[in-house]
A and B are shown apart, each in its own frame.
Chain A
Amino acid sequence: MMRFATLIKNPADWMKGTGPHSEIVMTSRVRLARNLRGFPFPGFSQERQRVDLLEQVRPVVEQLPEMRDGYSEDYTDLSKIRKQVLVERHLVSREHAARSSGCAVVVDRKQSISIMINEEDHFRIQGIRPGLNLHSAYELVDRVDSELESGLPFAFDSKLGYLTACPTNLGTGMRASVMLHLPALVLTEQINPVIKAVGKIGLAVRGLYGEGTEALGNLFQISNQHTLGEAEPEIIAQIEKVIEGVVRSEQNARAKLKEDHHTMLQDQVGRAYAILRYAHVLSSKEALNLLSMLRLGADLDLVGNCDRSLIDMMLLEIQPAHLQLNAARELSPDERDSMRAEITRARLQSIHGPGSFPTSQSTPGGPPSAPNDE
C-alpha cells in the first residue's frame, strides 16, 4: 500500500483544474453512507466493538480493485497534522478526523475515492471529480458500493432504504455536493439572492469545509438535503440543473464586471497579486480571499501566464496542516502566517503581474468560454 508521503506528494486527479465548468466549479463530490446489519452505529458502540468491526472490514475495503496500491491507515497511527491534511484535501471529514481508535481511511491511488470507516456511519464512501461532474462521481461510489455489498451485509429496509445513524441520511444515504468559486456574484452583491433561491429548492449552501464553516475565498458548497423519496439519478440531475443556473449567473456577473466595472476589477486583481507577491505575513483568511481574486483574474485573462491549477494547488498549500506538514513540525499561528506568505511569494515569481498585460478596455467582453466538455 501507498505511504502517506507518496499520497500527499502527488496532486489528486481532481486538483488539475480541468472538467466541465472548471473556471467556476472546483469539484463534484458524492458520498454514500452505509452500515452493517446487526452492529450498533459508531456513535453508540463501545470502542472494542468499533475496533472489532474495523479489523473485519478493513481487509475487505483494501481488497477492492479500485483500492489496489492505494493508501490505508488506522487513525491510531496517524498524527493530528496528517489527519488535518486529509481534511484539507477533502479526503476525510472533520468529524472523522476528530476520532481515533477504531477508525481508518482507505484512499485510492488517484485520490478520487476515499472510504472512511467508523465515521458517523460504519462506512462513508466518497468519490471526487473535477468540475461539474456529479454523474461520474456517483458512478465511482455506486460501483464501490456494489462491490462492497457483495461481501458485507449492509443494513437495508425495503421501505426506508439504507439505514443510517442520522435519519437525515436515510434512504439513498447519498450526499452530492459541488464546490463553487463565485467571486463575481459576491463582488456584484448578488450572492445572497442566489443562496436564498438555492435554499428554497431544498439544497444546502455551506462554506469551504462543510457545515458551519465560513465561505472563505468565495468558495461555496451546494448539496442535497433530502435523501429519502427520490432516486439517486433524480437527486443528481436536480443538483446539476441548479448548479448550471448558478454557473450562468456567475458567468453573467463576470461579464458585467468586465464590461461595467473594468477598473475596479483590475484594481482588485492587481492588489491581490501585489500582496500575494510581496507580503511577509498572510492570515489564512486573507490569503484565501486574495487567491480568489487572482483566480478570477486568471479566468478573465487579466493575469498573464497564470495556470488555474497553480492557484488551486496554492489554495491547498497555504492551509494550516499543509504548512505544518511541509515544515515537519507544529507551527504557531504567527509562524504559519509568515510561512504562508513565503509560499505565495515564491509561487508568484513565475507569474507576470496583471500590470504587464494590455489594459485596454477594448478586449472583447462576454462570459469566459467554458472549457471543452469532453
Chain B
Amino acid sequence: MKCDVCENEASVFLTQIINGQMTTVNLCESCSKAKGVTEETGFGLAEAFLTPSMRSEDSMEVVCNACGFTASQLKKIGRMGCPECYHSFREGLDGLLRNMHKGTRHVGKRPASVGGTAPQLLPRQRTSVVREETSTPPPPPLPVPAQAQPSDVSKLRADLDLAVKEERYEDAAKLKAEIERLQPKAPSK
C-alpha cells in the first residue's frame, strides 16, 4: 500500500474515529515522522490532517466569545458549546459539514421570524390541512441574554466576504441575493 502523502510504501497505518466517521491514514516511515504521528503525543491525527485553522495552539486557540468553548473541546467531543460557536468556529466548518451531509447550505424549513418560510408542501399529502393557528394565546416571551447573536444580515455579510476571498463566486452571488432579500434598502457598509 502506498503512503497517502508521498509515493513510498506505507508502513504506518492509523485508524481514528472523528465525529463518528472512521478515517484511515496510511503513511510511510519518513512521512509519519514528519507528521509527528509516531511521537507519543502525536496522536492528534485531526491536528495533522484537518485544516490548519482548526488546530489549537495553546496561545492562539480559537475560543467562542459567547460561551468560552474552545476549539480543542470541539475537537474532543465533536459538539458545539452554544449556537454562536458555529460562527466562532466557522473556519474549516464547510469541509467538516461536506463529509457529514448532502450539502453545506440549509434548504429546509425556516422560522417565520427569519424572513418566513413557505409552508412545507408534502408531496404525498392527501388531505392537506393548512393550519392557520392564530387563536392560541402567544406564550410569554423569553428574555434573550445580552450576548445575543449578531443579526443574520451581518453574518451573511461576513460569509459573503469570505466567499469572495475564497473565490467561491457562486456562493457569493447567492449570499448577496439573500442579503438583498432580507434588507432591500440596506445602507452599504
Contact = CB atoms under 8 A, between A and B. Distances in A.
B83 A163 contact: yes
Listed residue (A37, A143, A167, A232) with the most chain B CB atoms within 10 angstroms of its CB: A167
A157 B142 contact: no
Given A149-B112, A158-B178, A161-B108, A166 B79 contact: yes
A56 B141 CA distance: 9
A143 B120 CA distance: 11
B152 interface: yes
B104 A228 contact: yes
A368 B167 CA distance: 58
A156 interface: yes
Contacts of A166: 78-80
A160 B77 CA distance: 20
Contacts of A157: 83, 86-87, 106, 152, 155
Nearest to B139: A151
A229 B98 CA distance: 10
Given A41-B81, A157-B86, A232 B148 contact: no
A135 B125 CA distance: 7
A297 interface: no
Contacts of B115: 158
Contacts of A37: 83, 144, 148-149
B162 to A, nearest CB: 11
Interface size class of B (residues with CB under 8 A): 35 or more
B100 A167 contact: yes
B121 interface: yes
A135 B141 CA distance: 31
Nearest to B115: A158
B102 to A, nearest CB: 4
B102 A226 contact: yes
Contact of A165 (B20, B79, B120, B145): B79
A171 interface: yes
Contact of B159 (A38, A147, A159, A162): A159
A168 B100 contact: yes
Given A40-B82, A146-B112, A170-B97, A228 B103 contact: yes
A202 B124 CA distance: 22
A374 to B, nearest CB: 10
Given A151-B141, A160-B86, A165-B79, A226 B100 contact: yes
B81 A232 contact: no
A209 interface: no
Interface of A: 35-41, 43-44, 56-57, 59-60, 63-65, 120, 135, 138-139, 142-143, 145-147, 149-168, 170-172, 174, 202, 226-233, 236-237, 240
23 contacts: A36-B142, A38-B147, A38-B148, A40-B67, A40-B82, A44-B79, A60-B140, A65-B136, A139-B122, A139-B129, A142-B109, A145-B109, A152-B139, A157-B106, A157-B152, A160-B106, A166-B79, A171-B101, A171-B108, A174-B108, A228-B100, A228-B105, A229-B107
Which 3 A-B residue pairings sit nearest by Cβ, starting from the closest?
Answer: A229-B103, A161-B106, A151-B139
